[in-house]
């Protein structure tokens, strides 16, 4: 009969175990702040106060944004039925982040990630491009607050402003089809 060892996180205790996750969350938060700072702000939600309003930031999926996506892909796989990770090395991927600027007591401002969408630009014969939404995720604490609608509206405005042929959604869920039809 095999002898099982107690996992090391049990020996560390509850506080130390949670500290491991807190450090990881802080790392992701720092990458999110870097990506947002270097991205293009394309839309603000004016429905709330200025310091609480959501902002959509558009970034190419490379460098810090690619690292951020690689950290978020596990959430997509866990929360979106039938999802698969995208190949971030392929040309044409972008990510739209919906963020909220949060003031901290230390007078440093950080961005709180509310959700994101991964979109791909690809050629459409003869002289146009199409935009495909591959993944869209609003994190569970922020669902039902209209953030998914904001992401879809931002994607549609990108397609209109860049004169794209159309916007498609890769394997949409029933709820996403409902949200898309109500925009």
Contact 155, 167 (CB under 8 A): yes
Nearest CA to 68 out of 77, 60, 79 is that of: 60
What's the burial of 60, exposed, middle or buried (CB within 10 Å: 0-12/13-18/19+)? middle
State how beta strands 128-138 and 109-124 pair: antiparallel
Distance of CA 102 to the CA centre of its chain: 17
Q: Helix, strand, coil % (nearest 5) of the chain?
A: 40, 30, 30
- For CA atoms 59, 62, 68, 73, give the dihedral sign: positive
Active-site residue, from 60, 145, 153, 170: 170
81 is a catalytic site residue: no
Peptide bond into 74 cis (omega under 30): no
Catalytic residues: 170
């Amino acid at each position: 009969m095999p002898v099982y060892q107690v996992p090391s996180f049990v020996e560390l205790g509850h506080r130390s175990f949670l500290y491991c996750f807190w450090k990881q969350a802080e790392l992701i938060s720092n990458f999110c702040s870097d990506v947002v700072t270097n991205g293009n702000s394309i839309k603000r939600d004016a429905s709330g106060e200025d310091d609480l309003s959501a902002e959509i930031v558009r970034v190419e999926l490379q460098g810090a944004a690619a690292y951020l996506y690689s950290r978020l892909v596990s959430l997509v796989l866990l929360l979106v039925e039938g999802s698969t990770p995208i190949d971030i090395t392929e040309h044409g991927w972008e990510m739209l982040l919906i963020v909220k600027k949060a003031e901290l007591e230390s007078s440093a401002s950080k961005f709180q990630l509310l959700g994101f969408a991964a979109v791909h630009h690809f050629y459409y014969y003869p002289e146009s491009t199409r935009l495909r939404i591959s993944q869209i995720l609003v994190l569970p604490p922020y669902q039902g607050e209209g953030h998914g609608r904001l992401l879809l509206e931002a994607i549609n405005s990108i397609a209109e402003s860049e004169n794209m042929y159309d916007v498609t959604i890769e394997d949409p869920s029933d709820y996403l089809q409902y949200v898309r039809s109500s925009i």
